[in-house]
Chains A and B, each alone.
Chain A
Amino acid sequence: SAVISQKPSRDICQRGTSLTIQCQVDSQVTMMFWYRQQPGQSLTLIATANQGSEATYESGFVIDKFPISRPNLTFSTLTVSNMSPEDSSIYLCSVEVSNYGYTFGSGTRLTVV
């Protein structure tokens, strides 16, 4: 399975600022997925990022708030823009290497104060 390096692992940010989260994969993958996990809840898909095209966002998530870059087949970033305390969550990236296997990054624990 793929190995994902996600950073930062955690951050405390002021409201109104932005944070960019990075995910580096040790192999080339077509799609990368970004999730949000609010406290005590299951994972919610934010968007799917394909290399060379705009990300596809799920209902309730917009590009202006969560811009995503996918410059190549091993790297992606998610930015949480104009943060508010409601954005405090764990953010995770994920890839599917084969039809069977999903691997997740270690997560970014974001606290907005």
Chain B
Amino acid sequence: KNQVEQSPQSLIILEGKNCTLQCNYTVSPFSNLRWYKQDTGRGPVSLTIMTFSENTKSNGRYTATLDADTKQSSLHITASQLSDSASYICVVKTDSWGKLQFGAGTQVVVTP
């Protein structure tokens, strides 16, 4: 069973609307959680990274939240643009030398 579960698997939103992606994890111990954006056929690009003590981190129109107690994170996209169409991947790292645990990603399609 994957230790990082993302939902929804995919979603379609209208340009200009907001959306929220979810990430639940069971990885332990926890070092940090990252959200990546992956355009089709490209490598993932980091959006945010949060440690245990951080609850919110923003990067432009992207805002990530983290609840380390419930092991949940979300990524909120504000005023979506067509260029936001991509796969968004939640990645959790265990301790300093731990491997990365990848979620399967949420495929976002923004339509005009």
Q: Is the CB of A101 within 8 A of B49?
A: yes
Does B104 make an interface contact (CB < 8 A)?
A: yes
Query: Which of A11-19, A39-47, A72-80 contacts its partner?
Result: A39-47
Interface residues of A in 70-113 (CB under 8 A from B): 90, 92, 94, 99-107, 109
Q: Is the CB of B43 within 8 A of A6?
A: yes
Q: Is the CB of B103 within 8 A of A42?
A: yes
A107–B2 CA distance with the chains assembled, in angstroms: 23
Residues of A within 8 A of B (CB): 1, 4, 6, 9-10, 40-45, 90, 92, 94, 99-107, 109
Chain A residues in 8 Å Cβ range of B49: 100-101
B41, B44, B89, B104: residue with the most chain A Cβ atoms closer than 10 Å: B44
Chain B residues in 8 Å Cβ range of A100: 32, 49
**Ranked 9 nearest A-B pairs via Cβ:** A104-B43, A42-B102, A107-B43, A42-B104, A106-B43, A43-B102, A104-B44, A105-B43, A92-B43
- Between A and B, 7 residue pairs with Cβ closer than 8 Å are A6-B43, A42-B89, A43-B44, A45-B99, A100-B49, A104-B45, A107-B42
Q: Is the CB of A107 within 8 A of B102?
A: no
Chain B residues in 8 Å Cβ range of A45: 99-100
Nearest A residue (CB) for B103: A42
A105–B89 CA distance with the chains assembled, in angstroms: 16
Cross-interface CB contact of A102 among B2, B41, B46, B104, cutoff 8 Å: B46
Chain A residues in 8 Å Cβ range of B36: 104
Q: Is the CB of A102 within 8 A of B100?
A: yes
Q: Is the CB of A99 within 8 A of B43?
A: no
CB distance from B57 to the nearest CB of A (A): 12
Chain A residues in 8 Å Cβ range of B99: 45
Q: Is the CB of B104 within 8 A of A107?
A: no
Cross-interface CB contact of B96 among A1, A90, A99, cutoff 8 Å: A99
Known interface pairs A102-B34, A102-B46; A107-B100 also in contact (CB < 8 Å): no
Interface residues of B in 76-112 (CB under 8 A from A): 89, 91, 96, 99-100, 102-105
Chain A residues in 8 Å Cβ range of B96: 99
